[in-house]
Structure 1
Amino acid sequence: MTDSPEPSGERAGYRRSAKSPRGEARRRELLDKVADELGTNGLVDFSLRRAARAAGTTHKVLLYHFDGPEDLLTQAVLQLRERRIDRAVVAAGEGDGRSLADRVHSMWPTLIGTESWVLDQAIGLAMYDAGRYADLARSASRQYLPALLSLCPEDWDEQRKTEVAELILATLRGFLIEWRTSGDAAGIEAGFAALVRALDREEQM
């Protein structure tokens, strides 16, 4: 990734209005465009100038709204991940009366669908250079867990919901790695069958 931000002291006055309602709206608009570009072209060779072209602005304008290229990249990845989570939750919520296992399984096509390869790149980047990009991985758990907790039966206590949500999250991550690295659909389905049985037993307790 290229482009370095200007010294923060020189920008303090210039960025004074960035947190205003108008500034926040402009920031969201820019972020949507950059996230769209990342979803198409991925993280390789990301730079402020590339992002600026996608957003129809200049890299200086991006520096007004974001704390450099790493902050912009992180925020765009978070945006893409939120889109995927929203779609997955919708898929899981379709149809009343379904079991937790069925709802989790119905999320899978969304998890491997649009933009998934870019989000896998983000996790890889966090593992490759944890010093700079660790939050790309840490933030994934913070984003996914609330959605998984919401799928659990309402009468479960918080500890039980958390334990099951963590199990689901870890298992789905393993499936995503397997899907990305080997494409073994049959193996993943076999793993899902075991996950479904485990979740069914948990619900029947």
Structure 2
Amino acid sequence: MTSGTDSERREELIARVLEYSATHGLSDMSLRPLATAVGSSPRVLLYYFGSKEGLIREVLARSRARQLDAVEQAANSGSDPIETLWRWLTDPGQAEIERLFFEGCVRSLHNQDGAWRDFGAASVQEWLTPMRQVVTRTGAAGNTPYAPTLVLAAIRGLLLDLLATRDQERIEGAFADLIRLLRTAPEESAGLPPRPGVTSPDAAQ
């Protein structure tokens, strides 16, 4: 195979594996049934990804990159960025990739050295800079150094609730309340310095 063919085949395989993983999860993934499902073989998967752990890390990185691309596009969109982001995240077509994302976050809490290492922490740090743009463009009055962390946590909490309960009406109502709270927060809170002894990761973005 030429390097170009190798690259194309690898991209084709990772796309199929990502689709399979979003539907079936990664926790109990076995190379043989996975290879059969994506039209390949364990030997070929190991050739392209080195190991099962390498394959999982690649899938997790791609799923995280897909979400990060969505938040960056929302931050730079011509419409309300937080509404744009929310609509993308709650689109039924994204449900499987969202489940894969939360699976990665939970597994990374218990697996500090394996394929899931740092997934949760990286998924937070990567979002903070574009979330600062989202919060600012949304017109949040309480735009403190911690606002991106607060909004990110609120959105992900609502999304997890929606995936778990499918209670669309209740979650949409809660999201609407979140937007109202953001836009009516006391203006005196804007620009407050971090509390003594506390370093804000958002402020360094």
Shift of 1:114: 3.3
TM-score, L = length of structure 2: 0.65
Gaps of 5+ in 1: 1-16
Write out aligned runs for 1:111-122 (5 A).
Answer: 113-115=94-96, 116-122=98-104
Gaps of 5+ in 2: 191-205
* Aligned: 1:165 with 2:148: yes
TM-score, L = length of structure 1: 0.65
Q: 1:46: which partner in 2? A: 29
From the superposition, tell whether residues 34 and 97 of structure 1 become closer, same or farther in structure 2 (CA, over 3 Å).
Answer: closer
Corresponding residue to 1:35 among 13, 18, 22? 18
Partner Cα separation in structure 1 for residue 95 and residue 74 of structure 2? 14
Q: 1:74: which partner in 2? A: 57
From the superposition, tell whether residues 146 and 78 of structure 1 become closer, same or farther in structure 2 (CA, over 3 Å).
Answer: farther
Q: 1:180: which partner in 2? A: 163
**Offset from partner CA, 1:27-86 (integer Å, 9 cap, x none):** 222211111111222224212223322332222222222231122112112223433454
* Aligned: 1:102 with 2:100: no
**Offset from partner CA, 1:166-191 (integer Å, 9 cap, x none):** 22211112213322344444543343
Write out aligned runs for 1:122-201 (5 A).
Answer: 122-132=104-114, 133-153=116-136, 163-201=146-184
Structure 1 counterpart SS, 2:28: coil
Shift of 1:122: 2.3
Structure 1 counterpart SS, 2:118: helix
Q: What fraction of aligned residue pairs are identical, expressed as a percent?
A: 25
The alignment covers a number of residue pairs equal to: 182
Instruction: Provide the aligned C-alpha RMSD in A.
Output: 3.7
Structure 2 counterpart SS, 1:56: coil
Q: Does the CA contact (< 8 Å) of 2:90 and 2:159 recur in 1?
A: no
Partner Cα separation in structure 2 for residue 83 and residue 199 of structure 1? 26
